Structures are given as structure tokens and as C-alpha cells.
């Protein structure tokens, strides 16, 4: 077996484990498409996008979604010696189910780790008017904007279909910032929009490690 075949089989196995552990289980339609007509396979991450933005659906606590994403990626962060600093303003809500938001944050963080291994990452989340911004910044200079955009093109489409946006800001001499912008939720008890919390204390990965991944 060649090394490329080994990598391929490992990637397939890892993808299967990710889908089984992280994605929501849904009923898959069993009816076959008409002869000569091609239909894309059912993707649970695409399904129910409109429901995620419905005010009748549960809202996501951003901090909870970030911690869930970090817990899933903790082994990879540790194995690649990536230092992740976290600064999430408390009380942030997003109009999206928490498992869906965690999937998006996990994919965004995973893309940053693959693009900037053995690096330092800063993940921040704060409210800006009627939106919540979740940003990941790395410290690797000289990134190619086209390459970074291509690595998250699928994620951009999934975010867009849910009414959000994903922007990439490359600073050639400093690093790259990827910013996820989503509609802010409404506070459950007061009915008010979340306060504009643009500053939050930065917690090092070691400080939050106990709550997201017990070693």
C-alpha cells in the first residue's frame, strides 16, 4: 500500500467519524430520482437551514458552541502544538441551533489549524449591533488570499444559506483573520437584543482546557 493510499483511507475514516459524532441525525429520503436525473446526496448540514433562522427555534449560546467545537478539536490542537487563546464575550446568542453553530465554528477552526499548523490562534466572539462576530486569527505571515478562500469555500456557502457571511482578511506580514458574522439572538427572558460586548478577557487554552477536554 502506497503512502498516498494510506492517507486517503485515513481521511475517509476520519470524515466518517466526524459525521457520526458531530452532525445531527436526520431521516434520509429513500425514493430514487427519475432515470437520467442526478440529485446531490442528502447533507444534514445543509438541511433545515430556514429552521435555524426561525424565531421559534432554540437560540445558541455562543460560548457553549465554542466550547463544544474546542472539545471536538482538542486532540488535533494538542497533537499539532497549536496554542489557542479564547476571548468570548458572555451572554452572546445567535439565531441558530447550538449543534449547527458548533459545526460551523469547528470547521472554521479546523481550517485555520490546517492552514497554520504549529502556530498560535486567537478566537474571539463579540456583538456588533444586530450581529455576532466570531473571528479566528493566526500568526502565520505570507498567506495567499486565494488559497485561504478556497479552503473555506464550502463553509462560506453553508454560512450564506443561513443568512450569515464569512470574510477573510489577509495581512501579508502578520497573519490571517477569518470572521464569521451571524444574526444575533434575543435574550430569552428580557426579550432584548444582547448587549454590545466588544471586549472580553482572553483566556489561554490551558485555562479553559479543563472544561473542554479533560486530560
Write a three-state SS string for the chain. CCHHHHHHHHHHHHHHHHHHHHCCCCCCCCCCCCCCCCCCCCCCCCCCHHHHCCCCCCCEEHHHHHHHHHHHHHHHHHHCCCEEEEEECCCCEECCCHHHHHHHHHHHHHHHHHHCCCCEEEEEEEEECCEEEEEEEECCCCCCHHHHHHHCHHHHHHHHHCCCEEEEEEECCCEEEEEEEEEECCCCCCCCCCCCCCCCCCECHHHHHHHHCCC
pLDDT for res 192? 52
Domain with 23 in it? 3-212
- CATH, residue 132: 3.30.565.10
Question: Which carries the bigger pLDDT value, residue 41 or residue 173?
Answer: 173
User: How would residue 115 be classed by pLDDT, with cut points 50, 70 and 90?
Assistant: confident
Predicted confidence (pLDDT) per residue in 53-68, tens digit: 554 557 889 999 999 9
Average pLDDT over residues 146-157: 87
Whole-number CA gyration radius for the chain: 18
Q: How many domains does the chain have?
A: 1
Rounded distance between C-alpha atoms, residue 69 and residue 48, angstroms? 20
The whole model's pTM is what? 0.64
Q: Which residues touch 187 (CB under 8 Å, ≥6 apart)?
A: 91, 93, 193, 194
Does the pLDDT of residue 211 top 70, yes or no? no
Amino acid at each position: 500500500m502506497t503512502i498516498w493510499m494510506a492517507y486517503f483511507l485515513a481521511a475517509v475514516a476520519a470524515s466518517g467519524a466526524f459525521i457520526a459524532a458531530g452532525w445531527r441525525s436526520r431521516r434520509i429520503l429513500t425514493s430514487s430520482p427519475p432515470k437520467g436525473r442526478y440529485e446531490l446526496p442528502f447533507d444534514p448540514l445543509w438541511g433545515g437551514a430556514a429552521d435555524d433562522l426561525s424565531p421559534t427555534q432554540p437560540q445558541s449560546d455562543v460560548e457553549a458552541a465554542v466550547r463544544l467545537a474546542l472539545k471536538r478539536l482538542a486532540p488535533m490542537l494538542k497533537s499539532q502544538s497549536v496554542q489557542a487563546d479564547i476571548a468570548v464575550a458572555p451572554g452572546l446568542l445567535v439565531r441558530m441551533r447550538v449543534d449547527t453553530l458548533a459545526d460551523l465554528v469547528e470547521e472554521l477552526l479546523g481550517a485555520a489549524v490546517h492552514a497554520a499548523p504549529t502556530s498560535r490562534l486567537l478566537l474571539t466572539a463579540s456583538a456588533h449591533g444586530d450581529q455576532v462576530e466570531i473571528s479566528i486569527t493566526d500568526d502565520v505571515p505570507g498567506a495567499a488570499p486565494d488559497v485561504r478562500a478556497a479552503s473555506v469555500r464550502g463553509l462560506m456557502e453553508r454560512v450564506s444559506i443561513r443568512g450569515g457571511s464569512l470574510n477573510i482578511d489577509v495581512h501579508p506580514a502578520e497573519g490571517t483573520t477569518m470572521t464569521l458574522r451571524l444574526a444575533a439572538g434575543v435574550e430569552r427572558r428580557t426579550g432584548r437584543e444582547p448587549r454590545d460586548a466588544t471586549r472580553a478577557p482572553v483566556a489561554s487554552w490551558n485555562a479553559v482546557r479543563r472544561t473542554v477536554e479533560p486530560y
